[in-house]
Chain A
C-alpha cells in the first residue's frame, strides 16, 4: 500500500464528548431560570444577561488575544456561562458600568490571570459577584420590587426573603411563592423550581453527578432542621432556607463548576457538606443575609487540598478478597 498509516497508541476511538458539549448543556439547563427571570423582571433580565455575556466573552477575547497572545477559545462556552451566572447573581437594575467591572474582574482576574479555563482556583462568576458585593454594597443589595409585588421596572427596592428573615420575619412571603420564584432577589436565583428543573437536565445529560448539589442541600436542610426542632423559629425553617436566596443557583450551577470542585465522589461530598455548613452559619450568624457565595468561594480554596486527601475507591480495596 502506498499511503502511510497513522500510528498512535490505543485507544483509537473517542466518546465524542467535548468541553463545549458540557458547557452548552449547562446553558440549556439555565433556560428555565432565565424564563422565570424574564417573566419577573421583563426586559431588564434580558438586558442584564445579554450585556453580562457580551462583557465576559468580549473581555475574554481581548485579553487572550492581545495580552496573553494566544488563540481565544470563546466558543467553548465557558465565558458565556460566566456571563449568564454573573447576571443571575446581580439585581436586575444594576448599573451597567458596575456589571462591566464585575465581568472584567471575573474573566480578567479570576479566570485568565491563572491561565484560563481549567487553571483557575475560584469560580469566576462567584468571585465576580463577591467583588461587586464588597465594592458596591448599596447597588448590589437594592432589588426592584417584582412584577408580582409591584412594577417590574420600579426602582423601589424591596427586601429579599433572607433579608426579611434576618430583620423582619413576620413579612415573609408564602413558601409556595418562594419555590416558584416570585419573591424578590437577584435576577436568576429566585425560582427553586426552575433551577431544580435545570438540575434534572444536568443529571440526565450526565454533565454533573448528584454528589455536590445533593450534599449541599441536604446539609443545609439537616443543619437548619436540627435547629428548627430545638427552637421552631422561622429563621430556622429548613424549607425557607432551601428555597430562598441563591442556595439553589449556587448548589446546582456554581458549586458544580468542574474546574473548581473536587474530582472524586468522596471529595465532592466533603466539599458539598462544607458549602452547606458555611452557608447556614453565615445566614444565621454572619453579617450578610446570604452566605452561599462566600461558602463556595471558601470551599473552592479547599478543593486542591480535598483532591490530595481523597482517593477514589480502588479496585481490590473493597470487601471480599479471596
Chain B
C-alpha cells in the first residue's frame, strides 16, 4: 500500500524530462558571483576584500547570528569586488565577485571519491561541522540546517524523515542524486541520526522513482533504523507537514514546528551535503541543478559551483530556446519566475525550468463559480476562495480565523481553478498582512 497525506492534493503532469540523465559536472566559469545571502536568515558579513586570493573552500562570508549560513568560495582565484548583484529574488544584494584562476582547493578538503562510513564525532561536533560548512535546506527552502537540527529547549526529536519525494514536476536533481550517491546519503542519514540522537529514520520517495525506491530499500538493510517508504504520486507529497503526515500519521498542529510531533525533515540533497561536510571536510560549494523545459534541447542534471551564471548552465543544456517566455528557478508549482537569467546559481537553485511563451501567460480570470474544487484540493484543509475574497475586501480578522497563515503556498488552488482565479496571489498577500498583524499584537 502506498502511503500519502490525508487532505487534498493534486496530480500535475510530471514531465520529468531529465530523468535518468547522469549528473554532469559543468566547467568552472571564468567568473563567479557569490551572493552573501543565500539562505533564510541574516546575510553574511564578507571576510575577504578586493585583491584577496581565495581557494575552493575558503570562507568568504561569515554568518552573523545563529539563523544564518556561512558562505565559502566555490572557486580559486582573486576577489574582484564586493558589490550588489541581482539574485533570484530580483533584488540586488551584496555579493562577492571572484575571477577564476586554476582550480585549487583548501588542503583540508578530502576530494577523493572513497566512501567514509566511520564517524566518531559527538552530536555537538557534528552540528558544529554542519554549521561551519554553511549547509542549508537543499530542496529550495534554504533554511540553515544546523538550526533545524537543534530542537528548541524541552523538545526531543523521535524520528528523522528524509525527503526524497521531489514532487515538483520537471525536477530530477534529487532523484538523480539518490541514484548516484545512495551510500553517501545513507551515511549522511546516520550522521544526522547521531546528531539528533534518534534511532529511527524513514526515507520517503514518490513511487514514480521506483528505481530509487528499490535501490534504497536494498541498501538501507545494512543500516539499522533506516526504513524506506514509497509514497503515492501526489502533490505536495514533499511538503514538510504533508510528508510527516504520510510517513507517521501525525499532523503538525497549526502554527507549530515539525518537532512538536517529534519529527525532523531533511532533504536528500541536504544529507549528501552533510556527508561531504562531516566526512570530507567539504563546505557547501556546489550543487546539482536540473535544467529543463519542453523546448530545451538537452534537459539535464548538472553539478555546478555556487556562483556560476545560470546562462552557463542553460548553454550546457542547448541554450535558451527561441520560444522562451518565462524562466523559473525551481519547479513549476512553487518556483520563482526570474526577471533576468543573468544571475548566479545559489544554494537553493534546485532547477532551472524554461517555459515557452504560450504556456507562460496566464488566462484572464473569470467570476468564481463556487465549484469548491480549490477547497477539495487544499492540502491544509483551507477554503481558498473564501480566503481570496477576504483578502480582496481586507477582512483580516476573518482571514486569520480561517487560518490564512496555515497556507503553505503550494499553489494547488490556483492550479485547479477552472475560472483561472489567482487564488494563491491573493492568499499570499493576505497571509503576509495577517502575519504582520499577529506580530504587531505580540509586541
Contacts and interface: CB of A to CB of B under 8 A. Distances in A.
A315 B381 contact: yes
A313 interface: yes
Contacts of B252: 315-316
Interface in A254-273: 258-264
A307 B207 CA distance: 37
A321 interface: yes
A230 interface: no
Contacts of A321: 250-251, 253, 260-261
B245 to A, nearest CB: 8
B327 interface: yes
A264 B375 contact: yes
A102 B252 CA distance: 53
B109 interface: no
A170 interface: no
A316 to B, nearest CB: 4
Contacts of B6: 318
B326 interface: yes
B337 A320 contact: no
A299 B7 CA distance: 27
Interface string B407-421: 001011011111110
Interface stretch (B275-283, B297-305, B356-364): B356-364
A204 to B, nearest CB: 16
Nearest to B260: A322
A17 B371 CA distance: 12
A5 B249 contact: no
| Max chain A C-beta neighbours (<10 A), residue from B253, B341, B353 | B253
Contacts of A6: 325-326, 337, 357, 360-361
B402 interface: yes
Interface stretch (B73-81, B187-195, B223-231, B328-336): B328-336
B138 to A, nearest CB: 19
B372 A314 contact: no
A22 B367 contact: no
Contacts of A118: 366-370, 419
A155 B371 CA distance: 41
A116 B366 CA distance: 11
B328 A12 contact: yes
Given A5-B340, A17-B416, A315 B241 contact: yes
A312 B335 contact: no
A119 to B, nearest CB: 6
Contacts of B324: 1, 3, 5
B262 A264 contact: no
Nearest to B355: A12
A235 to B, nearest CB: 36
27 contacts: A1-B341, A6-B325, A7-B338, A9-B337, A10-B411, A11-B424, A12-B355, A13-B332, A13-B333, A13-B415, A15-B416, A19-B369, A19-B418, A19-B419, A22-B418, A73-B366, A117-B367, A118-B368, A119-B367, A258-B369, A312-B378, A313-B381, A314-B406, A315-B7, A320-B249, A321-B250, A322-B253
A115 interface: yes
A311 B252 CA distance: 19
Interface string A93-137: 000000000000000000000011111000000000000000000
A202 B254 CA distance: 35
A8 to B, nearest CB: 6
B402 A311 contact: yes
B169 interface: yes
Nearest to B411: A11
B415 A15 contact: yes
Interface of B: 6-7, 10, 12-13, 90, 169, 241, 245, 249-254, 256, 260-262, 320, 324-328, 332-341, 353, 355, 357, 359-363, 366-373, 375-376, 378-383, 385-386, 402-403, 406, 409, 411-412, 414-420, 422, 424-425, 428
B235 to A, nearest CB: 10
B370 A258 contact: yes
B327 to A, nearest CB: 6
Contacts of B256: 316
Contact of B339 (A7, A116, A119): A7
Given A6-B361, A7-B337, A11-B414, A314 B369 contact: no
A209 interface: yes
A311 B375 CA distance: 10
B339 A13 contact: no
A9 to B, nearest CB: 5
Interface of A: 1, 3, 5-15, 17-19, 21-22, 73, 115-119, 209, 258-264, 307, 311-322
A259 B245 CA distance: 33
Given A14-B414, A264-B375, A316 B251 contact: yes
Contact of A115 (B367, B380, B386, B402): B367
Nearest to A321: B253
A73 B385 CA distance: 22
Nearest to A119: B367
Contacts of A259: 369-370
A321 B260 CA distance: 8
A313 B7 contact: yes
Given A11-B334, A12-B332, A316 B325 contact: no
A177 to B, nearest CB: 36
Contacts of A18: 418, 420
Contacts of A15: 10, 12, 415-416
Nearest to B385: A263
A19 to B, nearest CB: 5
Contacts of B325: 5-6
B416 A5 contact: no
B90 A314 contact: no
A109 to B, nearest CB: 18
Contact of B372 (A8, A17, A258): A258
A316 B381 CA distance: 9
Nearest to B252: A316
A13 to B, nearest CB: 4
A287 B30 CA distance: 88
A294 to B, nearest CB: 22
A316 B253 contact: yes
B415 A14 contact: yes
Nearest to B402: A311
